[in-house]
Structure 1
Amino acid sequence: MKTIKGPAIFLAQFMGEQPPFDTLANLGAWAAGLGYEGIQLPTDKRLFDLDVAAGSQAYCDDVAGTLAEHGLAITELSTHLQGQLVAVHPAYDQLFDGFAAPHVRGNPAARQEWAVGQLKAAAQASRRLGLRTMASFSGALAWPYLYPWPQRPAGLVEEAFGELARRWKPILDVFDEAGVDVCYELHPGEDLHDGVTFERFLDAVGGHARANILYDPSHFVLQQLDYLAFIDIYHERIKAFHVKDAEFRPDGRQGVYGGYNGWLERAGRFRSLGDGQVDFTAIFSKMAQYDYAGWAVLEWECCLKHPEDGAREGADFIRRHIIRVADRAFDDFAGSGADRAQLRALMGIPA
C-alpha cells in the first residue's frame, strides 16, 4: 500500500492582483506558510508560461526551483480552460471565448486549434517538470442535450462522443509519448461528467492508457452519485484527486437542477472542507486501500466561507485525513509460520 502525498492546494481560485496572491513566488510562500507541501499549478501566464515551458528546460527548472525554495513540489499542471476549448458547443461560443488567447477569440476553429496546441505544449512542459499527471476538462458537444426534451435524435450522443474522441486521441498520443496521464475532472458542463460518460469516451478512444480521471467527490454529491462506489469501480483510472466538499439539501421547491438559483440559494452547494456532507474518512480509506499514489489537492470553492480561511483550515484537514499505511498486518504477531507440509496436515491432506 502507498501513503497519499499532501496536503497540496490548487492555486486557480487564489490568484489576484494584490500580494501574496500576485506572483508564483508570493503564492508559494503563502501556501508553504499554511502547511502545504505541493501546489497544482494553473497554466495561466501570470504564474506559468506554457509556451515557454514546452521548449525550455531552464524555465521549468527555474519555476520548480522557485517553489522548492519554500519546500513545495508541483503536483500537476492544470489545463482546465484549454481542455474546455477542445470541444465547445456553439451555444457557448461567446461565453467561452474569454478562456482563449485574444488573437483567436471570435474564431471557433482557430480557438480550438490554439487549445490543442496548448495541451500538446502541456505534455512537454509536464515531462520537463518530471510530472506524471496533468489535470484538465474534456470540453462538451452534447451537454445542451443532457435532458432528452425534445427527444434527442438517434445517434446524436454517439456522434458527439465519436467527435470528442477524434479531437482528443491525437492529444492523448502526445501525452503517451511524454509519459504523462491526462486526468479529466468529471464535471457537470463537460461531456465527461460521470462514470457512464467516462466509459463512453474511453471506449471511443480505444481504452487509451493516458485517459484517466481527476476524482472530485463534490461534483458527485451534486449529481447524487455514489462517490464511494465510484472509487471501487474506477480506482485503476483515478490518477489525481481534488479534495473539495459539498452539500445537497433538496426541499419542496428545488433539487438537483437548482431552479437557476445562484450558488448561495441552490440545494446543491460547494463548501469548504469539513463544512459539507462528503465522507472524507471513507474516501481516504479507499484511496489507501487501492494504492492511490498521487496527491491530495485542496480545491477551494465555497459560497459562504472566506477563501483564506478555507485554505488555512484545508491544510490541516487534509493532513489529518491522510492515512500513513501499515507496513505489516496487525495480526502478524500471531503468525504460526507453518510450512507447506504443516498447511496440508491442517486440512487432513496426506504429505
Structure 2
Amino acid sequence: MKTLKGPGIFLSQFIGEQAPFNTLEGLAQWASALGYKALQIPCHHRSIFDLDLASTSQAYCDDITGLLGTYGLVVSELSTHLEGQLIAVHPAHDVAFDGFAPSEVRGDNARRTAWAIESVKKAAAASAKLGLRAHATFSGSLAWPYVYPWPPHNPALLEEAFAELARRWLPVLEEFDRYGVDVCYELHPGEDLHDGVTFERFLAAVNHHPRCNILFDPSHLLLQHIDYLQFIDIYHQRIKAFHVKDAEYQLNGRSGVYGGYQRWIERAGRFRSPGDGQVDFKGIFSKLAQYDFDGWAVLEWECCLKDSDVGAREGAEFIQHHIIPVANRAFDDFAAQHDAASSVRAQLGLKQGA
C-alpha cells in the first residue's frame, strides 16, 4: 500500500501584485512557513513560471527545483486550466474567455485554439523536465450551452461536439504520452468534462487513451449531487491528481443547483474552506488510501466567506491531519499460520490424497 503525499497548495488563488505573492520565491517562502510541501504552479503567470522557457531549458527547470528545495518544497503538478479551457470555446463564450489568451490571438478563434494546444503541449515537456508524472487542466467546452437543452436533446450535436473535442485533444495526449506524463482533467461545471458520464464519453472518443485521466475535486461533485465516494470506487484507476476543496449545498425554496445568477455567497451551493463544508474528507482519504493513490493532496482554496490567509494556514493542517500513513502489514498478521498442504487439509477434515 502507498501513502499519498501532502500537503500541497495550488497557487492560482494566491498570486498577486504585492509581496510575497508576486514572485515564486516569495510564494515558496510563504507556503513553506505554513507547512506545505509542494506547490501546484499555474502556467499563465510568466513572472512566476515561464512556460516557454521551461519547455526548452532543463537548466531553468533545475533552477526552479533548486529554488523550491531551499524551502523544503517540490512541484506537485503544473496547471494549464486556462490554456486547456481555450482549446475548446463555444462562440457564446468567446468574449468572456478571450482575456485568457495573449493579445495577438484574441478575436480569432482558430488562432487562439492553436495557441492553446501548443501551450498545453509545452507543459508536457516542462513537466518532464521537472520530473513530474501528472498535469492539471480543463477540457474546454463546446457543448456546455446545451447542458440542459431547449429545444430538446440533439444527439447528433452532442456526438459532434465530443468528436471535435477529441480531435483537438488527441495530439496533446500523444505529446504527454511521449513524455510519460498524465493529463488530469478537473471535472468542472462549465467544462464538457464535468461528471463521470461526460468523462467516459470523452475517454471513448480518445480511444481510452492511457494519458486521459482525472483531477478529483469533490466540491464539484457534491454541488452536482454526485456520490463522490462511489465516484472513487468507479474511476480510481484514472484518478491521478487531487484537489482538496470543500463545498456545501443548502437546500432552500428559492434557488437550486444552477445558482439563480447569484453571487457565490448567496447561492444554494457554494465553496468553503476545507472542514467548513459538507464534504466527507475522512471518507475520501480512506478511499484514496484503499486504492493506493500516491499523488499529492493539493489545497485549492475558494471560499466565499473565509479570509484566504486563514484558509491557507488551516488548509495545510487539515490535509496533514487527514493523510493516512498506510499500514505495511495486516493487523491480524500475528495470528497467521503458514501451514503445509497436509495441515490445511487436516483443518478441513479431509484425508491426505483424497
TM-score by length of 2: 0.98
Is it true that 1:182 corresponds to 2:183 in the alignment? Answer: yes
**Which amino acid in structure 2 is aligned with residue 22 of structure 1?**
N
Contact 1:11 1:39 in 2 (8 A): yes
Give a deviation string over 1:52-91, Cα, whole Å, max 9, x none: 1111000111111111110001000000000000000000
Kindly state the Cα deviation for residue 149 of structure 1 after the two structures are TM-superposed: 1.2
Matches of 2:188 and 2:94 in 1, distance apart?
19
Distance 1:188 1:153 in 2: 20
Deviations 1:273-320 (A, max 9, x none): 110000000000000000001000000000000000000000000000
- SS of corresponding position for 1:253: coil
Q: Which 5+ residue runs of structure 2 have no aligned equivalent?
A: none
1:321 paired with 2:325, answer no
Cα drift, residue 168 of structure 1: 0.4
Identify the residue that residue 211 of structure 2 maps to in structure 1: 210
Residue in 1 that maps onto 2:13:
13
37-46 vs 233-242, which moves further: 37-46
SS of the counterpart of 1:14? coil
Map residues 123-134 of structure 1 onto 2, 5 A cutoff: 123-134=124-135
Structure 1 residue matching 2:72: 3-state secondary structure = coil
Residue in 2 aligned with 1:115?
116
Deviation readout 1:135-177 (Å, 9 max, x if unpaired): 0000000000000211133311111100000000011000000
TM-score normalized by structure 1?
0.99
What amino acid maps onto 1:27 in structure 2? L
Structure 1 gaps of 5+ residues are none
Aligned AA (1:16): G
Which structure 2 residues correspond to residues 254-265 of structure 1 after superposition, within 5 A? Answer: 254-265=255-266
Partner of 2:228: 227
How far off is 1:235 after superposition? Answer: 0.2
- Whether the 8 Å contact between 1:42 and 1:79 is mirrored in structure 2 is yes
> Secondary structure at the residue paired with 1:270?
strand
In the aligned structure 2, how far is the partner of 1:350 from the partner of 1:38? 60
SS of residue matched to 2:13: helix
Equivalents in 2 of 1:157, 1:242: separation in Å? 29
Preserved CA contact (<8 Å) 1:250 1:256: no
What's the CA shift string for 1:183-215, capped at 9, x where partnerless? 000000000000000000000000000000000
The one-letter code sitting in structure 2 at the alignment partner of 1:31 is: A
Report the AA paired with residue 132 of structure 2: L
Hey, what does 2:172 align to over in structure 1? 171
Offset at residue 337 of structure 1 (A):
2.5
Distance 2:250 2:14 in 1: 28
Q: d(CA) in 1 for partners of 2:218 and 2:266? A: 21
Q: CA RMSD in A?
A: 0.8
* Mapping for residues 273-312 of structure 1, pairs under 5 Å: 273-312=274-313
Instruction: Report the equivalent of 1:46.
Output: 47
**Runs of 4+ residues deviating >2 angstroms:** 348-351
User: Quick one: which amino acid aligns to residue 120 of structure 2?
Assistant: L
